[in-house]
A and B are shown apart, each in its own frame.
Chain A
Amino acid sequence: MTVNKARLIQGNQACAEGAIAAGVTFFAGYPITPSTEIAEIMSEELPKIGGKFIQMEDEIGSMACILGASLTGKKVLTASSGPGISLKQEAIGYASMAEIPCVIVNVQRLGPSTGGPTSTAQGDIMQARWGTHGDHPIIALCPATVKECFDLTVKAVNFAEKFRTPVYVLLDEIIGHMREKVILPNKEDIEIVDRKRPSTKPGDYKPYRTDESLIPEMADYGTGYKWHVTGLHHDETGFPTTKPALVEKLMNRLMSKLDKYKEEILLWQEESTDDAEVLIVAYGSTARSALDAVEKLREAGIKVGLFRPITIWPFPEEALARLAANVKGVIVPEMNYGQLYLEVERICKDKCKTSGLFKANSEPITPDEIIAKVREVL
């Protein structure tokens, strides 16, 4: 077995390489800081492997474009930031409804609106969950290292294919732009998941018929299987329906299909939580500050731990609730005005004190700021 060499690469580059390693062969996008490097790299690398890169007229077109490509059987990716992610929302809802696998990398910058193109932020947490209208399933993964940008993009592609849902990879500008030493895995060590394809003949194919897996089989366009794709409520034939019983059946399945796979989807890291009296809940680059704070506070004899949700949506609720039951307080530092805090507060408020440390001025939250907050809470 060969061991790959250590390299110095950016988070954005690791996302692009992870996507290609996972089998992505189609990218459509419209470059925007701080996600531009992903489009740049895909434009260079995809043609080399027979893939396609398209720079579309805008972000709406880009999102629609990857959905079309996904329907033909390709694994697809787009990447954007800030206003670009806002523009993609309608088509992301379409992907949730029509169950079209796709991955969206959002390298978060400071908003609202055009805000700060080169400023770091974590202000799109709730947008990732509820950015498109209506109840819908969504997965969002949040890397804290360059290596994780690679690993989680692979995972995002696999989740999208397996569960037929849009999946976000949520970076922040710091993680997207920083360069870090990484050793990437060998190709043969990377798990690849493909979408389930029809087990029936074209004539018998019902595109939204499901078994207990709750995930319908998906035929590639252009292979003889004819099916109707719509953003309207539909029955198992794929054609629209307004019958309440059928609408409810569809919505119940959509809203419960990820629950069934929670054990596989929910990812998190716990650090020094065993005897912790204070728990810090942090994600993305802020988790790195938190980890630093935990190490320094432990050296000073203060019992503090870190809970880092890697899967942000769906949120690893039970894991956090278990830890919250044994601590005095939970602190949530995040680069926004308190978004994931709402979720953490909901889960923890009956078990311990909760407080937030919010900062959204383009500067990262420092370990010293977290240390000061922990001392305040204790």
Chain B
Amino acid sequence: MSKRWEFRLSGTGGQGLITAGIILAEAAVLAGKEVVQSQSYGPEARGGASKAEVIIDEKQINYPKVVIPNVLLAMSPQPANKYGSEIKENGLIIIDSSLISDFNNEKARVVEIPITKLAKEDVGNILTANILALSAVVGLTKVVDFEYLKEAVLNRIPKGTEELNIKAMEIGWQWAEKHVV
């Protein structure tokens, strides 16, 4: 049976998580996989908890919504609390440890990466945090090859920001490599 990947990328409106979700889905298209992407709208999209969901599979995807994610990315405290307990047994939770403290989940593997701090200090632009995080998510799950992610990122980002975003991707990937089991 092929594996159904359910990703929930959550954070605060403005952190670029819906863009990250679309890029992840486009990387999956480039990799020849089946994919469905959806997002939450409404007040959540304006400063509250915001989320994008991506389902990736080798076979046709029927039900288009995430049931229980096997991968959760939490980029701020509110969604970490809101969605933190909804995770598959032995799932993966990646949290931005520069913004979230005291996060625990017994069911899943929790990987702490100081995403926002790395984007700000090592990449030099806080706006690349979503791409850095996405690269870490892909690095830890290997759901698609790095080359497809890179291509998808370069297709989406504004002209002139290629170097910054590639740097963010490399740093995210390196942090993921440290945690690969």
Contact = CB atoms under 8 A, between A and B. Distances in A.
Contacts of B22: 8, 179
A8 B26 contact: yes
Contacts of A366: 63, 65, 67
A364 interface: yes
A292 B37 contact: no
A366 B39 CA distance: 17
B153 to A, nearest CB: 14
A178 interface: yes
B164 to A, nearest CB: 24
Contacts of B38: 174, 177-179
A295 B35 CA distance: 19
A164 B29 CA distance: 39
A334 to B, nearest CB: 16
Interface residues of B, number: 21
Given A288-B64, A289-B62, A8 B42 contact: no
A118 interface: yes
**A interface, over-half SS:** mixed
A6 B42 CA distance: 30
B62 A6 contact: no
Contact of B64 (A7, A34, A178, A295): A178
A291 B47 CA distance: 36
B25 A179 contact: yes
A292 B41 contact: no
A285 interface: yes
A355 B39 CA distance: 32
Nearest to B1: A299
A249 interface: no
A367 interface: yes
Nearest to A173: B41
Contact of A6 (B29, B64, B65, B67): B29
Nearest to B44: A118
B21 to A, nearest CB: 9
B63 A8 contact: no
A177 to B, nearest CB: 6
Contact of B37 (A33, A178, A285): A178
Interface in B49-64: 61-64
A118 B41 contact: yes
Interface in B2-49: 22, 25-26, 28-29, 32-39, 41-42
Interface residues of A, number: 23
A180 interface: yes
Contacts of B42: 117-118
A243 B154 CA distance: 69
Contacts of A295: 62
Contacts of B65: 174, 364, 366
Contacts of B28: 181
Contacts of B36: 178-181
A367 B35 contact: no
A174 B64 CA distance: 8
Nearest to B39: A177
Contact of B25 (A8, A289, A367): A8
Nearest to B33: A181
A291 B62 CA distance: 6
Nearest to B28: A181
A367 B38 CA distance: 18
A285 B39 CA distance: 15
Contacts of A285: 64
Interface of A: 6-8, 33-34, 117-118, 174, 177-181, 285, 288-289, 291-292, 295, 364, 366-368
17 contacts: A6-B29, A6-B32, A8-B25, A8-B37, A33-B41, A118-B42, A174-B38, A179-B22, A179-B38, A180-B35, A180-B61, A285-B64, A288-B64, A292-B62, A292-B63, A366-B67, A367-B62
The 10 A-B residue pairs with the shortest CB-CB distance, nearest first, are A118-B41, A292-B62, A179-B37, A292-B63, A291-B62, A178-B38, A288-B62, A118-B42, A181-B29, A8-B26
Given A8-B29, A366-B63, 12 more contacts: A7-B29, A8-B25, A8-B26, A8-B37, A34-B41, A174-B65, A177-B41, A179-B36, A179-B37, A180-B35, A181-B33, A181-B34
